[in-house]
């Protein structure tokens, strides 16, 4: 049984200390050790994620290079008229993708943005996303046997989930069967 005096003595011990000394009596680690240890863990996960992200980005670029080859026969343009041929069928085609950065790179960007200027990682991300969206549009066209897509428009939306902020790239156009 702990007496009242003992409890108040404990409380006195705590409140007469500075906040960073509170844990000293109860654990071998000081609060600074904890900050350093947790910081190292967070940094390790972040750096691993960053390396993995770089590898995944390269893999994605390679896969896009491959997928673009059979799609070359589908022509895409932004004009509203068809000049070369009489069409048989018309449909609306949409290709979209949501892409995001890894957290470590997001952190780098936050610091990089203090001085402003070109934000290269983001440029790469949106270019990659837009290319993927266009490939998906063309793939859908290919599945329906469409060989010409006219009046293609691009839109970019910022999507925010509960934890993560991402960008959505959309490409849409009118597919005509010739």
Summarize as ranges the residues that interact with other proteins (CB under 8 A): 45, 49, 52-53, 56-57, 60, 80-82, 86-88, 90-92, 94, 96-103, 105, 125, 132, 150-151, 153, 155, 157-164, 166, 168, 170, 172-174, 176
Contact assessment for residue 119 and residue 167, using Cβ atoms and an 8 Å cutoff: no
Report the residue number, 75 or 157, with the smaller CB distance to other proteins: 157
Contact assessment for residue 168 and residue 96, using Cβ atoms and an 8 Å cutoff: yes
Helix (H) or strand (E) holding 159: strand 148-160
CB of 92 to other proteins, least distance (A): 4
CB of 45 to other proteins, least distance (A): 7
Report the residue number, 87 or 142, with the smaller CB distance to other proteins: 87
CB of 170 to other proteins, least distance (A): 7
Query: What is the number of residues in the chain?
Result: 178
Contact assessment for residue 164 and residue 74, using Cβ atoms and an 8 Å cutoff: no
Report the residue number, 23 or 109, with the smaller CB distance to other proteins: 109
CB of 73 to other proteins, least distance (A): 20
CB of 102 to other proteins, least distance (A): 4
Helix (H) or strand (E) holding 174: strand 165-177
Report the residue number, 92 or 114, with the smaller CB distance to other proteins: 92
Report the residue number, 8 or 156, with the smaller CB distance to other proteins: 156
Pairing of strands 165-177, 75-76: unpaired
Backbone phi and psi for residue 93, each to the nearest 5 degrees, phi listed first: -120, 140
Q: Which two tokens stand for residue 6?
A: 């003992």
Q: Which two tokens stand for residue 132?
A: 């993927």
């Amino acid at each position: 049984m702990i007496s009242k005096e003992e409890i108040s003595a404990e409380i006195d011990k705590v409140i007469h200390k500075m906040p960073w000394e509170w844990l000293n009596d109860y654990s071998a680690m000081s609060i600074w050790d904890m900050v350093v240890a947790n910081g190292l863990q967070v940094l390790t996960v972040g750096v691993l994620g960053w390396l993995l992200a770089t590898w995944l980005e390269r893999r994605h670029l390679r896969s896009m290079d491959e997928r673009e080859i059979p799609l070359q026969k589908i022509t895409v343009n932004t004009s509203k008229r068809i000049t070369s041929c009489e069409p048989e069928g018309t449909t609306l085609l949409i290709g979209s993708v949501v892409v995001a950065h890894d957290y470590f790179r997001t952190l780098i960007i936050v610091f990089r943005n203090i001085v402003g200027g070109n934000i290269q990682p983001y440029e790469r991300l949106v270019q990659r996303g837009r290319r993927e969206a266009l490939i998906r549009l063309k793939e859908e066209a290919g599945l329906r046997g469409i060989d010409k897509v006219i009046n293609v428009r691009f839109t970019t939306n910022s999507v925010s989930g509960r934890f993560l902020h991402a960008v959505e790239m959309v490409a849409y156009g009118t597919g005509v069967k010739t």
